[in-house]
Amino acid sequence: MKLYEYMGKDIFRREGIPVPRGKAFFSPAGVADFTAGLSSVVVKCQVLSGGRGKAGGIKFPGTPAEAEQYAGELLSTVIRDLPVEAVLVEEKIQINKEYYVAITVDGARRKPLVIASAHGGVDIEDAAEEHLVKLHVDVHAGLQPFFGREVARKMGLTGDEARQFAQMLVKLYHLFRKYDAELVEINPLVVSGSQLIAADAKITLDDEAAYRFPEWLPRVEERTEREQQAAEIGISFVELGGDIGVIANGAGITMATLDIIQHFGGSPRNFMDAGGGAGTEATAKALEILLSTNPKAILVNIFGGITRCDDVARAFAQVRETVGIAVPLVIRLVGTNEEAGVEILRQQGMTAYRTVQEAVARAVALAAGKEAV
């Protein structure tokens, strides 16, 4: 779950990491009043993407009236293909230097990894490797103050700045663990006068930790409506945008099916793991969701272990009778109760393929309009 900047800064504020004074607005009303007390102001669009500055999503108004006007403009635009639903209105801080700091999980080393740079700021992706400080954290020891000072020293920071940075890194790690974050990133971390301030905030939480922020959940939903519908009936479904609808039973076989479709020159419309023992009703529902995406063909890949092929065949036969399936349907069916399943399909005038290659090749040809149904 990715948090918006204003949510990330809310967490920073609670955990003692300095952030500019500011407030999130979902409509322009009240922006002028809020900024009346600030000497200068920045209005930042809230979208789950970086590079907002370069995309025109960050404005520096000269007057409170102008701040409200910019807020209104941003709230009715699309930045980097994302509609702007909120703006963060903040006191504009003076920026003397821009640093970069992040904590993420290094999956290969199975440890949190601190990445920091004194040569960073907005263009961190272009920063030379030798300008990046990377240090792994021992989860048992935690991130101790000496570790923070070590990072600061390697960045080339000295004196009070190094001291502030080390303290901030300890707090950043504390919240990284406390909220089950997968990433916390401050880019830029700015030197403003004599103070270090987080001018931006990017936090990604483990989805399983999302329950801690029930008030934010509706705002950070990234799934499509169909994906949510599928989740409600226990089916993992992700829309991808190609033209071959896919249903398979198990995450592994579904991923493999997507790869094989690509290999045969096709493009999958979705990922759909209909699960181990999906019954008739769930299969019908899954198929209904899939049909609503208007695929050019549907490929069903079932390797029956716990799943019984006759159950699957019955479900498809039933859906075809009751709902009707207007798109070409290609079914590969092997495993438990295979003979019974194939027979049920045959009675319905449907063929079952034995190998995944045959089935995928057929689905790809049908979707491309190269073979007749």
Catalogue the active-site residues.
100, 185
Three-state SS string over 78-102 comes to: EECCEECCCEEEEECCCCCEEEEEE
How many positions of this chain bind ligand GDP (CB under 6 A)? 19
Q: What is the number of H-type helices and E-type strands within the chain? A: 12, 19
Residue 18 touching ligand GDP (CB under 6 A): no
With CB under 5 to 8 Å by kind, the binding choice for 199 among ligand GDP, Mn ion, none is ligand GDP
Residue 92 touching ligand GDP (CB under 6 A): yes
With CB under 5 to 8 Å by kind, the binding choice for 328 among ligand GDP, Mn ion, none is none
Q: How many CB atoms lie within 10 A of CB 260?
A: 20
Residues from 286 through 305 that contact ligand GDP (CB under 6 A): none
Find the shortest distance in angstroms from Cβ 253 to ligand GDP.
Answer: 39
Of 3, 7, 8, 20, the residue at the interface with ligand GDP (CB under 6 A) is: 20
**Residue 327, token pair as written in the block:** 């798109």
Residue 51 touching ligand GDP (CB under 6 A): yes
Packing angle, helices 338-347 and 309-322, rounded to 10: 20
Of 82, 122, 220, 368, the residue at the interface with ligand GDP (CB under 6 A) is: 122
Question: Which range of residues in 52-60, 159-167, 254-262, 314-322 is near ligand GDP by CB under 6 A?
Answer: 52-60
Of 5, 90, 98, 200, the residue at the interface with Mn ion (CB under 5 A) is: 200
Backbone φ, ψ for residue 2 (5° rounding): -90, 135
Residue 56 touching ligand GDP (CB under 6 A): no
Which of 16, 53 has the CB closer to ligand GDP?
53
Distance between CA atoms of residues 169 and 152, nearest Å: 9
Which of 199, 309 has the CB closer to ligand GDP?
199
Of 11, 24, 58, 345, the residue at the interface with ligand GDP (CB under 6 A) is: 58
Of 112, 121, 148, 250, the residue at the interface with ligand GDP (CB under 6 A) is: 121
| Binding map of ligand GDP across residues 184-223, x = CB under 6 A, - = no contact | ---xx----------xx-----------------------
**Residue 162, token pair as written in the block:** 């190094």
**Residue 54, token pair as written in the block:** 């370069």
Contacts 24+ apart (CB under 8 A), 227-236: 229/289, 230/272, 230/286, 230/289, 233/282, 233/285, 233/286, 234/275, 234/282, 235/272, 235/273, 235/274, 235/275, 235/278, 235/282, 235/285, 235/286, 235/289, 236/271, 236/272, 236/273, 236/275
Give the footprint of ligand GDP on this chain (CB under 6 A): 20, 42, 44, 50-53, 58, 90, 92-93, 95, 98, 121-122, 187-188, 199-200
